[in-house]
Each structure stands twice: as C-alpha cells, then as structure tokens.
Structure 1
Amino acid sequence: MSPKPRATDVKDRLVEAAIRLLDDGGPESLQARKLAAEVGVSTMAVYTHFGGMAALVDEVVRTGFRKLSAALAEVGESDDPVADVFSLARTYRHTVAEQPQLFAVTFGQIAPGGKRATLSDLTTEAGREAANEGLEAFDHIVRATERAIEAGRFRPTDKYQAAAQLWSALHGFVTLEASGHFGPGEQGIDHILIPLGITLSVGLGDTVERAGRSAEAARAAWRAKTRNARQGGND
C-alpha cells in the first residue's frame, strides 16, 4: 500500500495544478472539480486544505509574487542603479509574459469564480505593514530607485512613490503588450518600453544622455544573459 500523502504535499499539488489550469485554460478552468481531477483527489480536498477556493486563489497569488520576486532578485546590483531599473523592467516583463494568466490573477486583474485577492497600498507604511503579497517584489524596484536617488541620478523624493510610478508605467506596458497593442514578439520593448523608461528617468531627475547610456547597458546585459542561457541549454 502506498503511503498516504502529507497534507502539505496535497496543498502544494493543488496550487501547482491551479497554476497549470490557469496557464492552459484561463480563469474559467480554475474550478474545484477540475483541480481535484488534476491532482487525483476528491473535491473535498480543496475545502479540507484551504477552506474554499478563495483561500486557494490567495495562495496562487502568493506563489505568483514569490516567482516574480525570485526572478527580480537574480538581476542583482551593478554600479549603475538606473541600468538596474531597466534590467528589472526587462526581467519583470519577461517573467509576466511567460505566464500571463498566473500574473493576471496575481495582480487582481482577473478573479477566478469572482474570487479576487485583496492587495495592499505598498506606497504607505500602513499598507506595507499589512501586506501579505507583493511587498518583496516591489522592494526590488524600491531598492534600485533608492540607489538612483542616493547616486544623484534621481532627485530626492519619496522612494516608494517614485518606485510606484516606475512600477505603474512598467505594468501598464506589460498589460497592453499582452493584449497585443504593441505588435507581435518583443518589438514593443525597443519602441515603447525603453523610451518610456528614459522619459520616466528624466522626469525623476536624470538626464536624457545618462538615462540612454543606462538603457544601453541594461540592453547589453540582457543580451549577454540570454546568450549564456541559450549556450547553457545546448551543453
């Protein structure tokens, strides 16, 4: 007789199955019956381990933010904080584009079965204290913004509000691109995202020339990263 799976194993498998269903079929596919069939358990397992679909959606949201934060953490820090802002933007865009349905749920843009995650205002101290999701991912943008302010590239300002402006523009681009408004492939990155980043950097206190050089540095770093990834996959 095979051993009975641990509760944590079943919970993890349900979350993984929920993300697969989202990726393959969108929010309409996220149903207790389909989840149970995907994992090979009864529908009661969803309620036993989560209390209902709403709590499961919340866990999917947390998983999405953890995935995003892990990807942004890989960017690291260079001696050019504005280039790091551009690198974070590219990584953010790439991560969200890989699993658009997951991140539409993560950011509350869609609500499977009417179950939308409740998020906090990360630009306020009270909101950050109450936040369960998103704070760690947002902090990567905040840290790069803070370093740009300290380096004199951005004018002295509230780092959270400045980072939220960058995040708003970035996520707006990602959302519109996912809807097909900027054409196929990645052409919107060069035509829209990078010029947008330069414009915002200048608005926050940088010069056009320095922001442009930082954008080019980030572009070169991204190309080297993707080239190394391809070569590593061929080893």
Structure 2
Amino acid sequence: MPRTLADSREKLIEAGMRLLEEQGPEALNARRLAAEIGASTMAVYTHFGGMAGVYEALGREAFARFERFLRRVPDTEDPVTDLLVLGLAYREFAVASPQRYRLMFGLASPGALPSFGHDLTIEGTPATAAEMNDAFALLPRHVRRAMVAGRIRRDDPIIVAGQIWCMIHGYVLLEATGVFGQEGRGVLHILGPHVINLLVGLGDDREAAERSAGQSLLNIEMVGAVVREPEPRRGRRPRPAR
C-alpha cells in the first residue's frame, strides 16, 4: 500500500479511536469519521469497504492497545501476585477505556463488529483475530508460572486461564452497571474473595493466596504510573512469551 494511502488509513483509525472514546461507538459513521481527517466519505470505503470494516479495524486496534497495556505489568518473584496484578490491570483498562471495552466485546452496536471468537476449549485461543489472541496469551503465561512454582496444581493452562478470564470479565461487566458501587469497594469485598476462593480451588494454600492477593493490591498501585503512561506509537510489537 502506498505510504500516502497507509497514512490516510492510520489517520482514520486514530480518528475513530478518538471518537469512540469521546462519544461511544454509536457516534461513529462514515461522514463524521471522514470529516475528522478532512476527507470525503469515499476514503472510508476505499480503506475499509464501509463501516463494518471500520468497526473491525477499531476492534483489532483496541485489542492491540489492550495487549500493550497489560504487557507493562512486570514480573516479580511471586507468579500468583503477578497473575492477580494482570487481572487488576485488565479491570483498570476497562474502567479507564469503557467505550473501547464495549466495542472489543460486542457490548455496543450489536452486529457491527464481526465475531472474532472461536472455541477456546478446542482451538486453544479465543479468537480468529491475532490481536485478541496476543492479549489473551499473557494470561496462560502467568498461569504456567504459577504451576511451575507449585502454587496451583498442574492442569491445562489454557483452560485455567479461561476460568480466570471468565471471573474477571464477569466482574468488570457487573461493576460497570454500578452494582458494586463506584469507589472500587467491590474489588475488596467481591473480586478479592472470589479470586482467593478460585486459587484455593486450583490448589493454592489459602494463606498464601491471601498474601498474594494483598500484595497484588500494593503492586498495582506501584506500577500504576507504568500502566497509565501514554500509549506508545503504533507499530510492530513483540510477541508474548509462551
């Protein structure tokens, strides 16, 4: 693709992400998106074939930024703490970028975003989109570390990662509706105990799980400046360690 055309496509994606965050996916349309970069609506159809292509491109870009956000969480000597910090960073992304999160998981503009999902239990990955798979891969990586450390019993790390994802995603969706308040109290009274119970069910010692859970709350604050720093420029990014 010629550089000028590529630049135009990138500008449309950036404009779309900006409109998405400011006004939600419902505000996106070809005319408004083109106007953001001083182009005609033909630019949208040239690069994306229409709004369905725009939604797909924005969904992929949102997952790519999600992965970069999660990757900023560093490893420590406690893999369970790191696993829980990753979950808290997941929640922080959803709280900080609610419109992106809605788009990524098909919670807005029903039918606009093509389904990326396929059967995790069979395929080993949650999606047909590489960007979503790259973000997910960070979770089983930490699960494997916890298994190697003897904190949780050895099992299929993909399936265990799916269980943890189900818990975090479900919590995030409920918190977004306000049922756990708006001050993060649900993290202490709902999500924290839920996490500990799941870890114990997976074979961890309850006292060790409680220590890791407490440390994760401290660590997410310590790395807060890291996970909240401005997003890096788009481009090639390293693949997650397997």
- The normalised TM-score by structure 1 is 0.88
Identity of matched residues, %: 42
Amino acid at match of 1:31: N
Matches within 5 A, 1:1-235: 6-111=4-109, 114-125=112-123, 127=125, 130-226=128-224
The answer to whether the 8 Å contact 1:28/1:112 transfers is: no
Gap regions ≥5 residues in structure 2: 229-242
Name the counterpart of 1:233: none
Deviation (angstroms), 1:127:
4.8
Q: Deviations over 1:44-68 (max 9, x none)?
A: 1001011121121111111111111
Name the counterpart of 2:231: none
**Distance in 1 between the 2:8 and 2:73 partners?**
33
**Distance in 2 between the 1:174 and 1:197 partners?**
13
Deviation (angstroms), 1:34:
1.1
Deviation (angstroms), 1:203:
1.3
The answer to whether the 8 Å contact 2:44/2:50 transfers is: yes
**Distance in 2 between the 1:130 and 1:21 partners?**
26
Deviation (angstroms), 1:75:
1.1
**Secondary structure at 2:120 match in 1:** coil
Gap regions ≥5 residues in structure 1: 231-235
The answer to whether the 8 Å contact 1:17/1:38 transfers is: yes
Deviation (angstroms), 1:228:
8.2
The answer to whether the 8 Å contact 1:69/1:136 transfers is: yes
**Distance in 2 between the 1:133 and 1:121 partners?**
16
Deviation (angstroms), 1:125:
3.1
Change (3 A) 1:129 1:120: closer
More deviation, 6-15/84-93: 6-15
More helix by share: 1
Q: Deviations over 1:67-106 (max 9, x none)?
A: 1111111112211111011100111111121111111111
